[in-house]
Amino acid sequence: MGQVGWKGLCLSLFDYKTEKYVVAKNKKVGLLYRLVQLIILAYLVIWVFVIKKGYQDVDTSLQSAVVTKVKGVAFTNSSELGERLWDVADYVIPSQGENVFFVITNLIVTPNQRQKTCAEREDIPDGMCSNDSDCHPGETVTAGHGEGLEWPGPEWGAKGDLEEIKSKPVEPFLKKAEDFTIYIKNFVRFPKFNFSRNNVMNIKKKSFLKSCRFDPKNPYCPIFHLGSIIRWAGSTFHEIALEGGVIGIHIEWNCDLDKAASECKPHYSFSRLDNKLSKSVSSGFNFRSLPAVPGWPRSWAGVQWEDPGPVGNVGYRYQMIVNGKAGKFNIIPTVINVGSGLALMGVAAFICDLVLIYLLKKSGFYRNKKYEEVR
């Protein structure tokens, strides 16, 4: 038997076997079937292929390198500093063109005071002392903000956190910061397709780069006006120049590598991250650092310190957030989408069969025709 079976198998290997169909001259079911087929086809062609580009292999893990350069000078005339001209090296931290950088808009000096009180503002995240009784002179409130210290001599004092500074300035110290500009160079590479682009490639004329500013009319100019960025991010310079903030500069690359490479262009968008981040729970952004102004606190207010208190820096933190995806034709996803789409046709047939052989008046008749019983 088995042997005959194998023999038959081999013989019939090159006979063409095709399913035998029962043709039910029933236009209703026929129409239903064609309809379902059409729907599946439409889904496959229009939605999967035309709209969703289901024939493409997609790479979303891009490599990115960002270089930034801030330009601008500001002149300040304050009692502490006298006349002073600020330039990039003074107000950008760090100054080496990182993709995350900070622009000073305010300076808060915290001289080495001896601080006994420990009233903390409500909205300080990890405050320990909500009232004076909570902490005791002589011990450092490590997790707090260094209040509650009793220290011999003025040169060793607690350094209050910015939140403690009672005398907040009412005017941003560096108003001019609004008019500074950033030049952003962004290099991206899609490793899967070994395809590299950057955001100044398309710009052929140097003159354009000399004069342009990014705006809806110049969506590809890589030079941005700080004030505008803040406005586009949904807030105003003055509103948060005093408190500081975190601004996200989103650079999105959405590339169809089946088209010309020059079509692959960045799309810039801006958002404020800090209040999104914190919904009134300690929004704003500030940090304290060793004096950013060279040799300044030493001579600040004419006092000479052994150990100058750090300077409180309030300002904008700019954060480049680059992402993107590239798609390119690839046979595998194409086959997967076509194949699984066709497989669904089987479902259509299954449904129509049910209708035909169970739900129609003549179902019994069709059933007998469709299923040929053997004994």
Region 76-105 residues binding its own copies, contact defined as CB under 8 A: 83-85, 87-90, 93-98, 100, 102
Minimum CB distance to its own copies smaller for 236 or for 340: 340
142 binds its own copies (CB under 8 A): yes
Q: Name the minimum Å distance from CB 15 to its own copies.
A: 5
223 binds its own copies (CB under 8 A): yes
CA–CA distance, 294 with 90 (Å, rounded to integer): 8
User: Which of 106, 274, 300, 326 is in the footprint of its own copies by CB under 8 A?
Assistant: 274
190 is in an annotated binding site: no
Helix (H, G, I), strand (E, B) or coil at 162: helix
Instruction: For the chain, give the number of residues.
Output: 375
Subset of 330-349 contacting its own copies (CB under 8 A)? 331-332, 335-347, 349
User: Which of 133, 167, 206, 217 is in the footprint of its own copies by CB under 8 A?
Assistant: 206
* Cα pseudo-dihedral 144, 148, 149, 154, rounded to 10: 110
Note whether 282 and 275 are within 8 A (CB).
Answer: no
Site string for its own copies, 32-71 (x = CB under 8 A): xxx--------x---xx---x-x----xxx-xxx-x-x-x
User: Which of 72, 172, 266, 327 is in the footprint of its own copies by CB under 8 A?
Assistant: 72
Subset of 289-308 contacting its own copies (CB under 8 A)? 289-292, 294-299, 305-308
Alpha helices in 43-180 (DSSP H): 88-91
Minimum CB distance to its own copies smaller for 21 or for 167: 21
The neighbouring-strand residues paired with 347 are none
Subset of 143-202 contacting its own copies (CB under 8 A)? 143-146, 149, 151, 156-159, 161, 176, 179-181, 183, 185, 187, 189, 191-192, 196, 198, 200-201
CA–CA distance, 272 with 232 (Å, rounded to integer): 9
Tokens of residue 190, six digits:
């899609």
Helix (H, G, I), strand (E, B) or coil at 20: coil
Helix (H, G, I), strand (E, B) or coil at 62: coil
CA–CA distance, 354 with 111 (Å, rounded to integer): 86
Q: Name the minimum Å distance from CB 183 to its own copies.
A: 5
358 binds its own copies (CB under 8 A): yes
Closest residue by Cα to residue 318 from 177, 188, 205: 177
Give the Å distances, CA to CA, from 369 to 124, 219, 352, 366. 81, 68, 15, 5
286 is in an annotated binding site: yes
Q: Can you say which residues are annotated as belonging to the binding site for ATP?
A: 69-71, 181, 286-288
